[in-house]
Amino acid sequence: MLLTTRLLMFAAVMLPALTTSAQTPIPLYENGKVPNAITGNSDMDTLRGKSWLTGADTTILRAKTIMPTLTVYAPPPGKASGIAVIVCSGGSYRNVADRVEGIPAAEKLAAAGITAFLLHYRVPRPDLMVNKETGPVQDAQRAIQYVREHAQQYNIQADKVGIMGFSAGGHLVSTAGTHFNKTYIDNPRKINLRPDFMVLVYPVISFTDSLTHELSRQNLIGPAITSEKITEYSNELQVTANTPPTFIVHAVDDNIVKVGNSLYFVAALEQQQVPVRFFVYTKGGHGFGINNTTAGAQWIDPCISWIKEGDWQPKQQKDYSSSR
């Protein structure tokens, strides 16, 4: 299969599993003042629906997160690199799959000296938000803002803050990386809301009919889906020369989120001369997290090398501070 970018198809030596203790989750917004919120009374509710993995009818626990949080995974003493990564799990914008995606990734990053911030973001719910489509990106922007505001406290550098997302979390991350010029939160100190780099793992990118993951699209911008909203949230159409450098992972046989999502995003990045690395699997399907059991080479190790080696850093610094 011929791709239009460099492929990281080399074998990586698997490190032993390392566990890093995490702090108690931190409220993302101070004093409980969550923007765009309608007060609810439960963290979870149940409904009948189709499993995203098998398509079978099942009972689903659906996130009803009212108070989004960050959980910090700090590197071992003396090992901190000064780099931070905010981690966003997937879940079709219906729940947040931290156990299988976010937590293992955060632990792996921290063990390698990268301070990880696991973001438990709000999923779009009309009963919890005035405008459900902006809730998740508000939380992503606030996470970037929080990490930069507290950089000294966590022994990180404010210009080395990246963001990682899986599946629908990848759509959230790519939204944060392509819509950073629009401020969805209060930002009186004009903190830079642009992530310095992105890591997208089997990401939902496009909301176009031919590529989209329909459940994610419906949950974010449905039920009345307009062509304007499809364009706005098809992030391959929002790439500019200022879009952050990106590391992308996808399997060709993914039958949940089509690999075309990543291919079109890679092409858009290359057209704008934005640095991109694409780690592509022949097999693996969807939802493998940091460990694709069908393959010998695991993406997380070369990804960590890419992050720590700083290939994503610009040759010349630009001012991305928020204008409002």
Q: What is the pLDDT of residues 106-153, one digit of tens each?
A: 999 999 999 999 999 999 999 889 999 999 999 999 999 999 999 999
pLDDT of residue 263: 99
**Tens-place pLDDT, residues 201-223:** 999 999 999 999 999 999 999 99
Best CA proximity match to 108, nearest among 280, 290, 293: 290
- Domain 69-309, what fold? Rossmann fold (3.40.50)
Contacts of 231 (CB under 8 A, 6+ apart): 237
Residue pointed to by tokens 């610009």? 314
Give the distance, in angstroms, between the CA of residue 70 and the centroid of all CA atoms in the same chain: 13
- Residue 272 scores a pLDDT above 60: yes
Question: 10, 297 in Cβ contact below 8 A?
Answer: yes
- Residue 42 scores a pLDDT above 60: no
- Residue 320 scores a pLDDT above 80: no
pLDDT of residue 56: 57
pLDDT confidence bin for 43, thresholds 50/70/90: low
**Tens-place pLDDT, residues 66-89:** 889 999 999 999 999 999 999 999
pLDDT of residue 21: 46
Question: 320, 180 in Cβ contact below 8 A?
Answer: yes
Question: 286, 53 in Cβ contact below 8 A?
Answer: yes
DSSP classification of residue 24? P
For 111-138, give the DSSP string. HTT-EEEEEEPPPP-TTTBSSGGGHHHH
Q: For residues 14 and 251, give the distance between their C-alpha atoms in angstroms, rounded to a whole number.
A: 19
Return the CA Rg of the chain: 18
The dihedral region occupied by 55, where left means phi > 0, alpha psi between -120 and 50, and beta the remainder, is left
pLDDT confidence bin for 40, thresholds 50/70/90: low
Q: Which two tokens stand for residue 75?
A: 């590197």
Q: Please report, in angstroms and rounded to a whole number, the separation of the first and last CA atoms in the chain.
A: 45
**Tens-place pLDDT, residues 165-199:** 999 999 999 999 999 999 999 999 999 999 999 99
Contacts of 106 (CB under 8 A, 6+ apart): 20, 22, 71, 73, 87, 116, 117, 118
pLDDT of residue 313: 85
pLDDT of residue 24: 81
The model's pTM is 0.86
pLDDT of residue 229: 97
Q: For residues 155 and 223, give the distance between their C-alpha atoms in angstroms, rounded to a whole number.
A: 44
For range 2-6, the mean pLDDT: 40
Amino acid identity, position 92: S
Q: What percent of the chain has pLDDT over 90?
A: 76
- Long-range Cβ pairs for the range 267-272 (8 Å, 24+): 267/4, 267/236, 268/236, 268/237, 268/239, 269/239, 269/243, 270/4, 270/5, 271/239, 272/239, 272/240, 272/241, 272/243
Selected residue with higher pLDDT from 9 and 319: 319
